[in-house]
Structure 1
Amino acid sequence: MDKEEFKKLLKNANFSKKSFASFVGLKYQSVNTWGNNNRAIPYWVKSWLNLYIENLKYQKMKDILKDSGVCKE
């Protein structure tokens, strides 16, 4: 994953680099250097962000169903 894709995924997940770092328990300084020079973005970040974004979509659907009375959970 390149730096631009990382930025796009962060945006889609409603994260800044700082909020993402805090959420996953990393130092902001580490996350901020990803994609710069020889600092590769860790392999797990793309799949983690994609799953997080997918979960946001399901959570929105669940909330809509709950509000409409279709789902009680």
Structure 2
Amino acid sequence: MDKDNFKLLLKKANFNKRTFSEHLGLKYQSVNSWGNNGRNVPYWVESWLHLYIDNNKCKQIKDMLKDSGICK
């Protein structure tokens, strides 16, 4: 994954590099260096962010259904 796609997915997940690193227990300096000076974004980050984004969407739908009384 390239640096621009990483930034885009972070934004969609409502993260910045600092909050992402804190959420995962990673050093900010490591996350901040991804995509710079030849350092690639780790292979697992893209799928992790996609799953996180999708999970949040499912939670929102579940909450809306629960609030509407359709699901309990």
- Cross-structure match for 1:38: 38
Pairwise CA distance, 1:46: 0.1
Cα distance in structure 1, aligned partners of 2:19 and 2:71: 31
Give the 5 Å matches for 1:1-73.
1-72=1-72
Question: Secondary structure of the residue that 1:9 maps to in structure 2?
Answer: helix
What is the TM-score normalised by the length of structure 1? 0.96
Query: How many positions carry a matched residue from both structures?
Result: 72
> Which stretches in structure 1 are left out of the alignment for 5+ residues?
none
> Which stretches in structure 2 are left out of the alignment for 5+ residues?
none
Cα distance in structure 2, aligned partners of 1:29 and 1:60: 32
Cα distance in structure 1, aligned partners of 2:5 and 2:60: 24
4+ runs deviating over 4 angstroms: none
RMSD over equivalenced CA pairs, Å: 0.5
Cα distance in structure 1, aligned partners of 2:71 and 2:23: 29
Identical residues among aligned pairs (%): 65
1:15-47 CA distances to partner (integer Å, 9 max, x unpaired)?
010000000110111000000011110000000
